[in-house]
Structure 1
């Protein structure tokens, strides 16, 4: 008899786990919104699927996004000075989560994965745990459902370092070569320009990460789509002229009336396993590994950890599932979680002098420029450049 696994949450971690585990286990996904409600609802954030994540999606035969033009590059701008364009080794893509998640949910249901629609509260966890051999908390930013232990060394912040303002827009001419445009405004925050695909067609995501109470933090209290659009146009004109010069004012608009979002998160990393009422409970994705969005690694970290967790469960599917299994899973993910988190946390602070020097060298050296682009596709290289270089120079 197959072991029964309950996944709470239907974001990138929960959905990839369902695909990865469905042949070896009896999988149930619990979520509180129907596919139609997700598809017709508000955007949830932004996601860029870099090469490694796309390879995992291919491994698990997840739905392939219908994207004509993939992202090939990372454009780097400091202040108003465009430095360089670094090329990615493998193309990336960005898809509206409302579209991608519902496609995955409908596909999984056709393949026999059970979906139960209900909201799980912390006080219901004991009953839920008794019904399954294992419960995995994939509740994302709204989680966790249980007190997974805090990793203090990786969780230095007590308040959000950035306010995140996101809009999906039409009417912006894409950068060439097509890619993510990273604009750093020292002391104020960042603007990420991301070509993406939605149900309505191609859009440009404008994603502002504003230092609280500084010049980019000007969206407080805005809930109207027209006011949001006007304010976004104002800050591009004032701070990001390259983007503003590519805006067609007659066509510049949100792609739908729910295509904007504001949020602020406090990054926190937790040990992804806990024993609750004598049974192992695991966590995966943002519920336990919540990083600041500034490095764009939410999707990729969740995907990586979901793969490591799935491989661990399949390897030990005939063993007793206790804290030793949780420790194996944590040991398999810990190094990468640490690399992503330390790099991401460093990105929220003034850039180290040697990194500024590297960016300046990238203007004349395409190999360095491509290496910087590689930070976002493989954050272990960013961690090496930020920290190992510092140690070797000290």
Structure 2
């Protein structure tokens, strides 16, 4: 008899996991608070990427539904601008890792409203059971206490269900509090139609990302800031779409005037959704990243937390969907290989594999970004910064780390490994 699984949440991880279980012939029920129509017509969330690694997993799961319509990101163009001294500017491709070379070195970004609505409908079409209902702790206690499911997975980190999972002080996510302000616009100026642009100053970043929306390709402009830093856009009056856009334009005019020129003429009419529904494409949020214990308890029985529930990724590293997908992928593999009860031991082992293979490396990536501005990077990074601007192989491998953060540990952080790699590609400066 097939085991029965209940998934709470219809985001990237919950839907990917649900589809993978359906592919295994498992009886899956998914509970979510919104219909696919409500998702499509609702407010977007922080723009995420499917890097080459994640895109390959989605393709294998038959979930890459936008191959011919989503704009491709083959490169990331970086501009790091310290308060003093010259800017560090380079462009690298996702072919910077061996994996990227194998699967086709491009990333895509699909507006969450489009992606999750399509996946939810696809889940039902493939035989998954969907229940549209907000769920509380008492509801969950009923399902768990009655033993209606062999495994209960919580894939929604907000609200009271997220509080079931205690913080884990033994693991550091590498992340810090962030203020995120974002708009999605049509007709933004691009010089590289197959790239994403990242501008970074002390305490903040601005991402220009080509994204597929329900109105076709558009541009997501995402502004990240440490609280109180130069690009902190909090204090927007009324939180209207026009106010969010104007606040972003004002901060860019002050601190990144050349970047401001790219959207200086934008108005609320240029938002995805236009004057009528553009408010759904202009958002502001605050993140407090961290790591939590993957096992929660209800009615004396364990429930499994997944993805953002247990590891809240720092948006500065662009690892949100990568971590969510890989966590769900690991859990699905563990489920397929397991014989016996889905108990605390099973849950902890599945999460540990995700943490060792992906989670901890994403944490180091986030910490590296903050270290660049906080002066906490090791001395040999001076050689790396020089090499990344003059050697394309180094630039490609640096950007390839967005796809495979574990690669940074192989060549970047250890001085000896770093120098050996720079010598191998002819980028070691003369002594």
Same fold by TM-score, threshold 0.5 exceeded?
Answer: yes
- 1:1-394 equivalences under 5 Å are 1-22=1-22, 23-65=24-66, 66-67=68-69, 69-79=71-81, 81=87, 83-89=89-95, 90-129=105-144, 130=146, 131-142=148-159, 144-145=161-162, 147-155=164-172, 161-176=177-192, 178-186=194-202, 188-222=203-237, 223-247=239-263, 249=265, 253-256=270-273, 257=278, 258-316=280-338, 318-335=339-356, 336-349=358-371, 350=374, 352=377, 353-355=379-381, 357-385=383-411, 387-389=413-415
CA contact (8 A) 2:388 2:395 kept: yes
1:312 and 1:164, CA in 2 relative to 1: closer, same or farther beyond 3 A? same
Per the TM alignment, residue 278 of structure 1 is displaced from its structure 2 partner at its CA by 4.0
- The whole-number CA distance in structure 2 between the counterparts of 1:392 and 1:68 is 36
CA contact (8 A) 1:162 1:189 kept: no
What is the aligned residue count?
A: 390
SS of structure 2 residue aligned to 1:264:
strand
Deviations 1:7-31 (A, max 9, x none): 0000000000011001331001100
- The whole-number CA distance in structure 1 between the counterparts of 2:315 and 2:17 is 22
Which residue pairs with 2:101 in the alignment? none
1:143 and 1:185, CA in 2 relative to 1: closer, same or farther beyond 3 A? farther
Deviations 1:79-113 (A, max 9, x none): 28361110112100001000010001111111110
CA contact (8 A) 1:273 1:323 kept: yes
SS of structure 2 residue aligned to 1:218:
coil
Deviations 1:127-179 (A, max 9, x none): 1213211110100344644532432133478x952211111112212241622
SS of structure 2 residue aligned to 1:153:
coil
CA contact (8 A) 1:163 1:211 kept: yes
What RMSD, in angstroms, separates the aligned Cα atoms of the two structures?
2.4
1:376 and 1:175, CA in 2 relative to 1: closer, same or farther beyond 3 A? farther
CA contact (8 A) 1:294 1:348 kept: no
CA contact (8 A) 2:71 2:217 kept: no
Q: Which runs of 5+ in 1 are unaligned?
A: none
SS of structure 2 residue aligned to 1:255:
coil
CA contact (8 A) 2:70 2:109 kept: no
CA contact (8 A) 2:70 2:108 kept: no
1:163 and 1:126, CA in 2 relative to 1: closer, same or farther beyond 3 A? same
- The whole-number CA distance in structure 2 between the counterparts of 1:332 and 1:13 is 16
Q: Which runs of 5+ in 2 are unaligned?
A: 96-104, 420-431
SS of structure 2 residue aligned to 1:308:
helix
1:11 and 1:143, CA in 2 relative to 1: closer, same or farther beyond 3 A? farther
CA contact (8 A) 2:70 2:217 kept: no
SS of structure 1 residue aligned to 2:25:
coil
CA contact (8 A) 1:340 1:380 kept: yes
- The whole-number CA distance in structure 2 between the counterparts of 1:69 and 1:148 is 37
SS of structure 2 residue aligned to 1:197:
strand
- The whole-number CA distance in structure 2 between the counterparts of 1:46 and 1:108 is 22
- The whole-number CA distance in structure 2 between the counterparts of 1:322 and 1:68 is 40
CA contact (8 A) 1:44 1:97 kept: yes
1:85 and 1:97, CA in 2 relative to 1: closer, same or farther beyond 3 A? same
1:61 and 1:366, CA in 2 relative to 1: closer, same or farther beyond 3 A? same
1:343 and 1:248, CA in 2 relative to 1: closer, same or farther beyond 3 A? closer
- Deviation larger for 120-129 or 382-391: 382-391
- The whole-number CA distance in structure 2 between the counterparts of 1:338 and 1:60 is 25
TM-score by length of 1: 0.91
1:321 and 1:391, CA in 2 relative to 1: closer, same or farther beyond 3 A? same
TM-score by length of 2: 0.84
